Chain A
Amino acid sequence: MTSLPETPTTKKLGLVIDLDICVGCHACAVNCKEWNSGGHSAPLTDFDPYGADPTGVWFNRIHTFEATDDVGNSRTVHFPRSCLHCEDAPCVTVCPTGASYKREEDGIVLVNADTCIGCKLCSWACPYGAREYDHDDGVMKKCTLCVDKIYNENLDEESRVPACVSTCPAGARHFGDLGDPESDVSKLVEARDGFELMPEQECKPTNRYLPPRPRKTAAGSTGAPSALEPQVDGGDSPFLRWVDKVLSR
């Protein structure tokens, strides 16, 4: 069913990505590829993987941006990009077959590989580049929020989070219910002024990004004195006073 759920889903599972902490190691993308190569949307086909022009389907891409302010201070920000499981997901409403759908129970956006005709329209409708076409399978693929992992009772409780979250060595990724204002992720978003990407596209994404913390530009705020104090000549030690006198001669 390609229409969105009639009332917004109450449960909104999603990710909170901390741009202050991400170190750009691509571990999340690699573990995503590894889990999903055997998961709901498997395989994630690669073409020419060891050759000169390797391409393939990935659900998670890590960009690195440099943001420079007016006075020329710049900072490097690593930026993971994946499906944001939007509330008003245009990828779902444009789908002519009903292959793309949004789950009422938790808001996860999925593609049914058995009914997708591979028209690619959903990838045109998504502002975030979250959908990648598998030329080999002839169907569209995308982040499943590890739907086959987060509810998997064969796994330990702590492993029931998306692969990207369990693998991030820096702890930059958080998973939870963003529809519940009392959840840890919602509180984190609140405390850190988490934001939506491209709100003007009106997709109401579920995922939130936490901004890099303001950079400390003044030397004083590192805890060190902003300038060195002149030393009192030798202080009260007769020896040091003598050394000072000799050296100042």
Chain B
Amino acid sequence: MHPAFSVIFFTTASGAGYGLITLMSILQASGILPPDPRVGWAGFGIGFTLITLGLLSSTFHLGHPERAWRAISQWRSSWLSREGLAAIVTYVPTGAYAIGWIFLDWRDDLFILTGMVGAMLCMQTVYCTAMIYASLKTIRAWANSWTVICYFSISIFTGALLMNAIASVFGYWHPAMFWITTGAIAVAGVAKMQYWRFIDRNPSESTAETATGLKGHIRLLESPHTQENYLQKEMGYKIARKHASKLRQLTIAAGFVAPILLITLANASIPATAAALSILAVPVAAIGVLIERWLFFAEAKHVVTLYYGETTA
């Protein structure tokens, strides 16, 4: 599938933002992260910026962005619609929670409950994003449960890295954060490797034979058109295996191994160095995750390619 930057940015940025707000709510409720307004400014500021820019970027590739509001109408059947609706609904409790945290010194049980509802909706939105892809039977690399597990775990781990950095900067670093962050990175790394293992071994049930109903070895003798059409440009994107395997290694190195090393080092350093290392882990992981998401699209093969010379999909 064609790796469009708008969608890569949308899924990674909003995922990190939702992960961050989820963890802030949980850690605040469990007393690990004090609701200091400065932490609120930084955390919700970064979180909402990532989410909002991500959502806006997802509308850039639309043919009619001015009609985007229509997209929330078909939540009964469409995961894209559910995603849009969930994203909008999520702003309500998370927004109230952020205002309570930063401006109102709101600290009662209802505050905590609002945070928890917001956290659940954040994860619900990430789930809907993942399901947009996981529900497409035409793309075997997406239509499997590893897709959802990867979206969840990457959202949480990128959010955890952000939270870790913010807490270190404001002097609220807590050992639990180290364990949550390393745990989240490890889970995401393992999930991603399992995902790759799965897609390498499980091609689509559809083949050139089922696509054409013809028997034997099927070869495209003549394409219907001389130039690439929309289908080939959108769905025929192909990445060489050797490039893909290099990029997978880069994802593991920058996305998972380097951040774990950096925050482990931070764990053993004096606070100023620790904060610097925790901050550094964020852009390093971002590079890894952007490559990961680029690969998620570039490696995905659509069954329509079976009509254009592929024998398996």
Contact = CB atoms under 8 A, between A and B. Distances in A.
A97 B73 contact: yes
A4 B78 CA distance: 11
A126 B211 CA distance: 12
A116 B64 contact: yes
B138 A126 contact: yes
Contact of A124 (B62, B67, B219, B302): B302
Interface string B276-303: 0000000000000000000000000011
A61 interface: yes
B213 interface: yes
B214 A77 contact: yes
A92 B77 CA distance: 9
A183 interface: no
Given A2-B77, A119-B80, A198 B211 contact: yes
Interface residues of B, number: 57
Contacts of B222: 24, 63-64
Contacts of B30: none
B71 A198 contact: no
Contact of A98 (B74, B218, B221): B74
A54 interface: yes
A117 B217 contact: no
A66 B213 CA distance: 12
Interface in A70-120: 70, 74, 76-77, 79, 81, 90, 92-99, 115-120
B206 A68 contact: no
A90 B137 CA distance: 9
Given A79-B212, A128-B304, A201-B138, A118 B63 contact: yes
Interface string B53-96: 00000000111110110111110111111001000000000000
A209 interface: yes
A76 B302 CA distance: 25
A3 B81 CA distance: 12
A127 B303 contact: yes
Contacts of B304: 126-129
A68 B216 contact: yes
B197 interface: no
Nearest to A209: B213
Contact of B70 (A69, A79, A97, A201): A97
Given A117-B67, A126-B138, A132-B229, A195 B219 contact: no
Nearest to B81: A96
B312 interface: no
A197 B210 contact: yes
Most buried by B among A63, A123, A137: A63
Interface residues of A, number: 71
Contacts of B105: none
Contacts of A42: none
A128 B234 CA distance: 14
A95 B70 contact: no
A202 B216 CA distance: 23
B239 interface: no
Given A68-B216, A195-B213, A55 B230 contact: yes
A201 B235 contact: no
B221 A115 contact: no
Contacts of B215: 67, 69
A57 B65 CA distance: 21
Interface string B125-139: 000000010011111
A69 B215 CA distance: 7
Contact of B64 (A61, A98, A117): A117
Given A29-B224, A120-B234, A138-B64, A65 B219 contact: yes
Nearest to A67: B214
Interface in B240-278: none
B205 A95 contact: no
A156 interface: no
A132 B231 contact: yes
A169 B231 CA distance: 28
Interface of B: 1, 61-65, 67-68, 70-74, 76-81, 84, 132, 135-139, 205-206, 208, 210-231, 234-235, 302-304, 307
Interface of A: 1-4, 19, 24, 26, 29, 53-58, 61-70, 74, 76-77, 79, 81, 90, 92-99, 115-121, 123-129, 132-135, 137-140, 195-202, 209, 211-212
Given A118-B64, A125-B136, 5 more contacts: A26-B224, A120-B234, A129-B307, A198-B303, A200-B210
27 contacts: A26-B224, A54-B227, A61-B225, A63-B220, A63-B222, A65-B208, A65-B212, A67-B219, A69-B217, A94-B136, A96-B84, A97-B71, A97-B74, A115-B70, A116-B67, A117-B63, A119-B62, A123-B230, A124-B1, A124-B234, A125-B137, A127-B137, A127-B138, A132-B231, A133-B63, A135-B230, A198-B211
List the 10 shortest-distance A-B pairs measured between CB atoms, nearest first.
A118-B63, A138-B63, A61-B224, A129-B304, A96-B81, A64-B222, A2-B74, A96-B71, A97-B70, A67-B214
